[in-house]
A = this chain, B = another copy of it.
Amino acid sequence: MKDTAISEANPTPYHAPSRSGLTLPTVGIDIGGTKINAAVVAPGEENLLSLINAPTPTDSVQFLNTLVDMVETLKQKHNAVAVGISTAGVVDSIHGRILGSTGNMPALKNLSNLRELLTERINLPVHMENDANAAAYGEWRSGAAKGAENMFAITLGTGVGMGIVFNGLMYRGSHFYAGEGGHIAISYHRERKCTCGRWDCWEAFASGTGLQKTAELTVEAAPETAQAEFLQKYCADGKVTTYAVIAAWKDNNHIGVQIMDDWHNHIAVGLGSLINVMDPDMIVVGGGLAQFVNFELLQERTRERSMSNNFQLVPATLGNHAGIVGAAYLAMETLK
């Protein structure tokens, strides 16, 4: 195990469909800000094989070593023939280069040519993909949107991610910037700054950060008694957090209900716009906050906003493993 701590988790039930006789075990790696997850996707199998993880190193050399170790471990165990990597940032998946911001991963700043470096060390073909793209592809290939002709997946977390599959192909746009759906504007009033520096992005309302901002503003504007009750009952240290809102909402507290109702509206406004542009047959909603979405309510609000009503809005089914699955399948498809 050399100098990196890799731990093995229980494999997740999951069915990897085999298509056109393709049965090549492939390593899928999902690089996150704190953890790197990896496993083998083998068409025909019911589960991800040998799910392992390691803390994400901040140093570039250590980072590369960790990836090499993880791949070697999985490669030996399952005869993997390729590697698919899902990572934050704008990724030129054709030339295997990381072009844009990689958020909270300092190690990647010096590794824009990660694919090249990794290929040299592990002697396997490597495909790299933006994480939101990989997650969408995973959900389309063997998750909630199996069989869709045109679909997109959004992930509601700290931000709002998006990936698009058109006519069964990953859609990346002309410069690998497609699917920045989190940054469509849902207001022209310049009322809320997004972390990207632009105004009124969907993400600034629909993400966890957005939900918290809406909560702060709503509590601030609430009548004195209701405000005091909310703060006292749900906000231990006086801070209005997303957890406080969720607790209040489950309690049927008036302020909590209003905030969550607004949040569903904010999500629906963006979804309606995306549907009107792309006319998909399926939309997958995943990410850490998806568990708090009332899908019935969201459907209803989204239908009010959309021209076509022939779409299915469904929760993601691959959870944290969508990136691993999607990246591995994209690597397999690219190899063909």
Binding site for B on A (CB under 8 A): 148-150, 162, 164, 166, 171-181, 183-189, 196, 198-199, 205, 265-266, 269, 272-274, 276-281, 304-305, 307-308, 310-311
Contacts and interface: CB of A to CB of B under 8 A. Distances in A.
A274 B308 CA distance: 18
A185 B273 contact: yes
B187 A174 contact: no
Contacts of A176: 279
Contacts of A274: 184, 277
Main secondary structure of the interface of A (DSSP, over half): loop
Contacts of A304: 198
B174 A150 contact: yes
Nearest to A281: B174
A180 B174 CA distance: 21
| From A164, A176, A184, residue with most partner B Cβ within 10 Å | A184
A231 B90 CA distance: 51
Given A150-B174, A184-B184, 20 more contacts: A148-B174, A150-B173, A164-B277, A173-B279, A173-B280, A175-B310, A177-B279, A177-B308, A177-B310, A178-B279, A179-B277, A181-B277, A183-B276, A184-B277, A187-B187, A187-B189, A188-B266, A189-B189, A198-B304, A198-B305
CB-CB nearest 10 A-B residue pairs:
A173-B279, A184-B273, A177-B308, A178-B279, A177-B279, A174-B281, A180-B276, A188-B269, A183-B276, A180-B307
Given A180-B277, A183-B276, A265 B173 contact: no
A305 B185 contact: yes
Tally of this chain's copies: 2
21 contacts: A150-B173, A166-B171, A173-B280, A173-B308, A174-B279, A178-B277, A178-B279, A180-B277, A180-B307, A180-B308, A183-B276, A184-B184, A185-B269, A185-B272, A188-B265, A188-B266, A189-B189, A198-B272, A198-B304, A199-B305, A273-B273
Contacts of A308: 173, 175, 177, 180
Contacts of A186: 185-188
A199 B301 CA distance: 12
Nearest to A173: B279
A263 to B, nearest CB: 11
A186 B200 CA distance: 10
Nearest to A172: B279
A276 B164 CA distance: 12
| From A172, A173, A179, A183, residue with most partner B Cβ within 10 Å | A173
Nearest to A183: B276
